[in-house]
Structure 1
């Protein structure tokens, strides 16, 4: 992104000019309220642009949906510990009843008969009472017979309740839910930091592009004045037509550069709107000035601890920068050594002691991921713990020969026309405890624990890599910023010299003691110096944003 913005700013060529002697100093502008209008021109400070982007950038909105997903996931985990209630109903048409073989012979076998003897007959003829006896008559064995149980139509309805009493995985899951929510928030914060960086660089790009475009218009106006004066001198016979033609060629080139700069400025504004999530149709007016956006180079060098106090004086000229106060107990030689260490990309003991890795959201996110990995390992181990649930169920079941009879719902008090009970629905209920004890799972849990432990060790190794990466970014951003400040000082000095040379050359030409070619050469060099100066200004601004991001201060500054 930085390279793209750099090309965007410098593609206009040497025609984009800056006024000599522009004072650039850091000023603290009051925080303005976010403008939410959608019609007319929207006044926009950098702070407002950042706030609007954080609230409206589509990529951030999508990231925040991840937070909602995390919250829903937490609710899902907690729901497992609440009572689980289920209601079920079932109707079935057993159009072909299942039959089972039944051995009826095993129920008693044989047949019964009444035995009548001659003595019983004689006794009956004599008027005596005779009690006949029943005897069992042996019969042939009967094979098992097919028998259908139940009726064609059947139904049941029930309600069941279960309550988790103990589950080690559930308790660990509750802890992991909170950590998971924190991780989602940190991922959103990481996305917000990226948006702040993109919006800041795009805003500075637009500031520089507009400043160049405005100055280019003034340069065209000044060149028109020189061209008019030269043309009048030519008409009076004191200049050659070649001098007028040279100025016209230069003016034509400058107008072309102005048109290119206009289109590039429009493109930079479109990029800013895109980074903000602002509709392209919305007109904006940048409220911050370019001078207020550039930090004081001398003071910034002192904070970095890498200034060369013999050269350079910040944006206000080449005067000496006040020396930084020497900390107590630090010799001047040690102070200079620390400055050289910082300038070379190293970190002095004082800076190192003050640097907090937790200021970087990446480090904090990795810590959260490590905590999740630890909970995942504990969860795998908890899979060996028993699981205890309390259960209860109550319902009704019924059956009938036809569907209408089934839906009659006759209870225990129901009677048929002949007075016999004809109940067809019967209630049932149960309560109990369910204990599940894992005994052997083919070493599946053992390998899961190994994987979780390796994942945790991998994250631990990642801390050292991340620390080294942060150290490198810290040193690189410091060195880049110091170099950009040095280049800005040099380009400011070159701009002052080029402006003075162009001024003297114009005076000599107007006095008739200088040539037109000298004026054109001086103007060209001035425009080149101005272009280089604005490029250095943009580099300082981008380097400051990168520096704030490397130290973890970019997000905090955006929230101020």
Structure 2
């Protein structure tokens, strides 16, 4: 993204002149409120307002926040396992072919007698009909067991059951992990917000620089028009050659084309800003910040970086002779090499400054800490799989049967009687309460290997801490060096721009007075535009380097929120 923005800037050219000894940083403009409403008219937009709008409306951030809501729902899902579980069930079955069992009817009478049972009685019983049995003397040949159908063709039942978890070690650990998981989702959202702040800041600065450079090109065209008019009048009076007028005309045409290109690229930079904000492209915006309001003291910034000249408070102060470094007493000594290596590894900082970095300011470090906590809870959860699980259970319901569907749904209770006084009940209640204890004994070493995986995951995260620390140290050194270099280049290009402006001014005066050549004026104007381009490119590099520095130190989102 930084490379793309810089290419866009260099194509569009530089922006506004900055006062001596000043560098660029973010500014906090008064916000319009917690939200910035897009309207059909022109929308005034400060950097603070652009960031606020992007944080609240950027589509990628909205998607990330949905993940945060998913994490909250996951917490509720885990908690629900500890609440009473209530189930209600009902079913109806048509036993169109009743299951049969063998019954020894010959032994029902006991002793030397037995129950009277004819083949017709057996057939009726097998078909589910009621059979009245009598007692007779057993024959010499006992009756073999006979197939008998139990139940009726239509059967149904309904019940309600309740279970309550009393103890589960994995559940208790899961509750802790759920809160940590929700915290991790919040930190991932914060990381996405930091990325959006970075993108919007760079796009806003790119638009500012492109806009200011476009205004400067307009002033250059006006100045060249004045010079062309004066030269043409001098030619008409016979004191200048037509070739002088034509050279200036060519110069003006080139400058107008450059102005047109800058105008289109400025529009493109505005479109990029809208995209980074999540603002519709049809919305017209007017940037209310200016580069001059974003200036801070360069000397103070250099001292913060530990790279200032404490006598002048600045860096490059002129183009004098190159200073000569004093000779070392022992240039090849081991101590000197170790010191040079340490200096290089710390980004050319003193030992005190090199050790002052606070890793906890970086959201990546905090996120990794949360992931480490989750890994520890995951390990504890898998170990808890060996603990017993205790539940309290209760159930109550009714079951019934009937010869037909209508008979089943007659719902006859204990007081129901037939015409001859026999009980005719077809639905009966049942209920139970109890405890369910589940003790895992052997799972084929599955839990053992799950615990091994969790331990390895923990060790991997622990190794990641050292890698992340080294990465943060490198980013800190790189951002610091890049910002210092950008400030030095900006000072140098500012000095070059002042010289180019003076050369252009003197060459125009000499040409108007008749003591200078037209080619000298054109060369000076070309040099001025090149100096302007280089200056505003350096200006943008300082802006981007400052954003990168704030992100490396973990202060970007905090500053943007203030």
Common fold: TM-score over 0.5: yes
For residue 454 of structure 2, the aligned residue among 443, 452, 455 is 452
Q: Are residues 17 and 454 of structure 1, via their aligned partners in 2, closer, same or farther at CA, if it must alter by over 3 Å? A: closer
Q: Verify: 1:254 aligned to 2:261, yes or no.
A: no
SS of 2:53 mapped into structure 1 = helix
TM-superposed CA distance for 1:345, in Å, is: 1.2
Aligned counterparts, 1:41-440, within 5 A: 41-107=42-108, 112=113, 136-308=137-309, 313=314, 341=343, 345-440=347-442
TM-superposed CA distance for 1:341, in Å, is: 4.3
SS of 1:239 mapped into structure 2 = coil
- Rounded to whole Å, the distance in 2 between the matches of 1:91 and 1:135 is 40
TM-superposed CA distance for 1:436, in Å, is: 0.0
SS of 1:396 mapped into structure 2 = strand
**Which residue is 1:32 aligned to?**
31
Q: Verify: 1:479 aligned to 2:481, yes or no.
A: yes
**Which residue is 2:131 aligned to?**
none
- Rounded to whole Å, the distance in 1 between the matches of 2:513 and 2:48 is 51
- Rounded to whole Å, the distance in 1 between the matches of 2:350 and 2:287 is 39
Q: Are residues 96 and 184 of structure 1, via their aligned partners in 2, closer, same or farther at CA, if it must alter by over 3 Å? A: same
Q: Verify: 1:463 aligned to 2:462, yes or no.
A: no
Larger mean CA deviation between 498-507 and 344-353 belongs to 344-353
Q: Verify: 1:549 aligned to 2:548, yes or no.
A: no
Q: Structure 1, residues 29-51: CA drift from partner, whole Å, max 9, x if none? A: 54222431412111111000000
**Which residue is 2:120 aligned to?**
none
RMSD over equivalenced CA pairs, Å: 2.4
- Rounded to whole Å, the distance in 2 between the matches of 1:208 and 1:12 is 9
SS of 2:77 mapped into structure 1 = helix
- Structure 2 residue runs without a partner (length 5+): 115-134, 321-338
**Which residue is 1:6 aligned to?**
6
Q: Structure 1, residues 373-421: CA drift from partner, whole Å, max 9, x if none? A: 0000000000000000000000000000011111111111111111111
Q: Are residues 309 and 250 of structure 1, via their aligned partners in 2, closer, same or farther at CA, if it must alter by over 3 Å? A: farther
8 Å contact from structure 1 (residues 24, 295) kept in 2: yes
**Which residue is 1:496 aligned to?**
498
Q: Structure 1, residues 118-154: CA drift from partner, whole Å, max 9, x if none? A: xxxxxxxxxxxxxxxx994443243332221111111
- Rounded to whole Å, the distance in 2 between the matches of 1:228 and 1:247 is 10
- Rounded to whole Å, the distance in 2 between the matches of 1:341 and 1:506 is 50
TM-superposed CA distance for 1:348, in Å, is: 2.8
- Rounded to whole Å, the distance in 1 between the matches of 2:295 and 2:44 is 20
Q: Are residues 520 and 21 of structure 1, via their aligned partners in 2, closer, same or farther at CA, if it must alter by over 3 Å? A: farther
TM-superposed CA distance for 1:218, in Å, is: 1.0
- Rounded to whole Å, the distance in 1 between the matches of 2:180 and 2:370 is 7
8 Å contact from structure 1 (residues 98, 149) kept in 2: yes
- Rounded to whole Å, the distance in 2 between the matches of 1:227 and 1:420 is 126
8 Å contact from structure 1 (residues 297, 313) kept in 2: yes
- Rounded to whole Å, the distance in 2 between the matches of 1:343 and 1:165 is 57
SS of 1:52 mapped into structure 2 = helix
- Rounded to whole Å, the distance in 2 between the matches of 1:11 and 1:287 is 23
TM-superposed CA distance for 1:559, in Å, is: 1.3
Q: Are residues 275 and 436 of structure 1, via their aligned partners in 2, closer, same or farther at CA, if it must alter by over 3 Å? A: same
Q: Structure 1, residues 203-227: CA drift from partner, whole Å, max 9, x if none? A: 0000000001111111111111111
8 Å contact from structure 1 (residues 312, 489) kept in 2: no
8 Å contact from structure 1 (residues 88, 157) kept in 2: yes
8 Å contact from structure 1 (residues 17, 527) kept in 2: no
- Rounded to whole Å, the distance in 1 between the matches of 2:456 and 2:319 is 59
8 Å contact from structure 1 (residues 307, 343) kept in 2: no
8 Å contact from structure 2 (residues 395, 432) kept in 1: yes
8 Å contact from structure 1 (residues 110, 136) kept in 2: no
8 Å contact from structure 1 (residues 83, 163) kept in 2: yes
**Which residue is 1:124 aligned to?**
none
Larger mean CA deviation between 293-302 and 58-67 belongs to 293-302
TM-superposed CA distance for 1:296, in Å, is: 2.5
For residue 507 of structure 2, the aligned residue among 484, 505, 508 is 505
Q: Are residues 49 and 137 of structure 1, via their aligned partners in 2, closer, same or farther at CA, if it must alter by over 3 Å? A: closer
8 Å contact from structure 1 (residues 66, 184) kept in 2: yes
Q: Are residues 343 and 511 of structure 1, via their aligned partners in 2, closer, same or farther at CA, if it must alter by over 3 Å? A: farther
Larger gyration radius, structure 1 or structure 2: 1
8 Å contact from structure 1 (residues 26, 292) kept in 2: no
Q: How many residues matched? A: 520
- Structure 1 residue runs without a partner (length 5+): 114-133, 321-336
TM-superposed CA distance for 1:241, in Å, is: 1.0
- Rounded to whole Å, the distance in 2 between the matches of 1:452 and 1:44 is 50
Q: Are residues 536 and 310 of structure 1, via their aligned partners in 2, closer, same or farther at CA, if it must alter by over 3 Å? A: farther
- Rounded to whole Å, the distance in 1 between the matches of 2:481 and 2:17 is 28
TM-superposed CA distance for 1:515, in Å, is: 0.6
- Rounded to whole Å, the distance in 1 between the matches of 2:233 and 2:463 is 77
SS of 1:383 mapped into structure 2 = helix
8 Å contact from structure 2 (residues 21, 299) kept in 1: no
Report the TM-score, using the length of structure 2 for normalisation: 0.88
TM-superposed CA distance for 1:313, in Å, is: 3.5
Report the TM-score, using the length of structure 1 for normalisation: 0.88
8 Å contact from structure 2 (residues 71, 182) kept in 1: yes
Q: Are residues 20 and 236 of structure 1, via their aligned partners in 2, closer, same or farther at CA, if it must alter by over 3 Å? A: farther
